[in-house]
A = this chain, B = another copy of it.
Amino acid sequence: MEKVFASIITIGDELLIGQVIDTNSAWMAQELNKAGIMVRNRVAVGDVWEDIWQALDEESRKSPIILITGGLGPTADDITKPLLCEYFGGKLVMHEETLQHVTYLFEKVFNRPMIERNRKQAEVPDVCTVLKNARGTAPGMLFEKNGTLFISMPGVPHEMKWIMDYHVLPMLAQRFTTGVIRHRTLLTANIGESFLAELIKDLEEALPDYIKLAYLPNFGMVRLRLTAQGTDAATLEAALEHHFRLLVQRTKDYLVVDEDLPMELVVGRLLQARNQTITTAESCTGGYIAHLITSHSGASAYYKGSVVSYDNAIKESLLGVSHETLTTQGAVSEETVVQMASSARSLMQTDYAIAVSGIMGPDGGSTEKPVGMVWVGLAWAEGVRAKKFQFRFDRKRNIEVTATQALNFLRELIVENSSGAIQP
């Protein structure tokens, strides 16, 4: 076994001026990990000849595998292909198979005439192996130099993913006898990072050196991740399982789930196992909770629909919140969210309803109801329940943390209704 590292180089000015958030690297890292390859370094450089060149030099001294994305489009700012051609001492030649594929795409899929610029996308350096891109016009390219593999792919996520799945990952599996990498993750709630660290201090110290522990706090909750690296899968998994179970046992009073699952899927699984359904009545989150739930295939098994009642008039007309409540208590109040949840539940005929109303900022706060104040209401067959949260800071984060905490509030209720106690 060798311990195999890879570097990722992403190319494009848009990454350096903050116009685009790089989601490709995260996906690539996950897939490489599954294949037993650790990412050593991730570098983003602009559409600048010398910077790309230097990144290739530097990363090839660190890793035997260099994955490169971006800069392969048909326009003048795309310089990756000519640069790679020069870097590896080749010349551009027409690749007939790619030309046929590009022609097919324009004639049959895009239904647009093909121009010279598109034809040029089928040109490749004569020193590379072409990796067909079934999903787009720019092919992937594989170069080798002094035992290092350089793989260039388009930056368009679904094109990059296809080339990775179809060409790169199988090829890497064949070329490298990688070690085994395994992760186990658990999610806790209602405990701070420092306290959690104290709680599991002895377990952390007792970890063997091939198992690493990481703390990942987010949305007021902390994820713990164990990462094990070794040679033999069975031995490694057994050791990892042993240490992971100790952590699960120790954190049981705070444990949400012993997998790397987002909160909406934790709730979804609980509902599905109980053959129950959910709806949401959203004011301040504006449909974000519904979006989280429906971003996963299969949500229709437990999710029926939602009402986004952003305007108070809609809270009255569609969700039957009384005019008196809205004028005396206000839209951000216990009574409002309880009424919203109850009405949504009858309207959608579900087992559970979550309702949220709050002030996400940056405007709209007051001394009594500052930015970040949120009421969450729950309704189910036997009752209603509400809880006030006070979050801080920016709108985007407030929407996200509200959604996660509201779902966790429901999770606690579902578990409680199932067993008489909050813990699963």
Which A positions have Cβ atoms within 8 angstroms of B?
13-23, 25-31, 33, 38-47, 51, 55, 58, 73-77, 110, 112, 115, 117-118, 135, 156-158, 161, 183, 185, 192-195, 197-198, 204, 212-217, 225, 227, 260, 282, 285-291, 293-295, 297-300, 303-311, 313-314, 317-318, 347-349, 360-363, 392-397, 399
Contact = CB atoms under 8 A, between A and B. Distances in A.
Contacts of A192: 110, 112
18 contacts: A14-B225, A19-B30, A20-B26, A21-B21, A40-B45, A41-B44, A47-B214, A73-B193, A74-B197, A75-B197, A77-B212, A110-B192, A287-B288, A297-B362, A298-B363, A304-B311, A305-B307, A306-B306
A304 B295 contact: no
A195 B113 CA distance: 9
A27 B22 CA distance: 12
Contacts of A393: 135, 158
A212 B13 contact: yes
Residue of A40, A41, A289, A291 with most chain B CB atoms under a 10 A cut-off: A291
B225 A19 contact: yes
A374 to B, nearest CB: 14
A157 B401 CA distance: 13
B44 A40 contact: no
Contact of A293 (B23, B31, B286): B286
Given A115-B194, A117-B194, A193-B74, A18 B13 contact: no
Contacts of A397: 157-158
A73 B77 CA distance: 40
Contacts of A298: 363
Given A112-B195, A294-B287, A311 B318 contact: no
B314 A304 contact: yes
Contacts of A22: 21-22, 25-26
B14 A18 contact: no
Contact of A290 (B55, B158, B287, B313): B287
Given A213-B77, A295-B286, A41 B42 contact: no
A30 B44 contact: no
Given A204-B76, A216-B19, A305 B294 contact: no
For the complex of A and B, list the 5 residue pairs with the smallest distance between their C-beta atoms, beginning with the closest: A286-B294, A287-B290, A287-B287, A18-B29, A18-B30
Contacts of A38: 16-17
Contacts of A288: 287, 291, 294-295
B115 A198 contact: yes
A38 B318 CA distance: 51
Contacts of A395: 295, 297
A136 to B, nearest CB: 10
Contact of A297 (B42, B195, B361): B361
Contacts of A118: 194
Contacts of A158: 392-394, 397
A22 B42 CA distance: 11
A215 B77 contact: yes
A160 to B, nearest CB: 12
Contacts of A39: 16-17, 46
B310 A294 contact: yes
Nearest to A16: B39
A305 B314 contact: yes
A192 B106 CA distance: 11
A18 B37 CA distance: 12
A259 B15 CA distance: 19
B45 A18 contact: no
B295 A291 contact: no
B20 A216 contact: yes
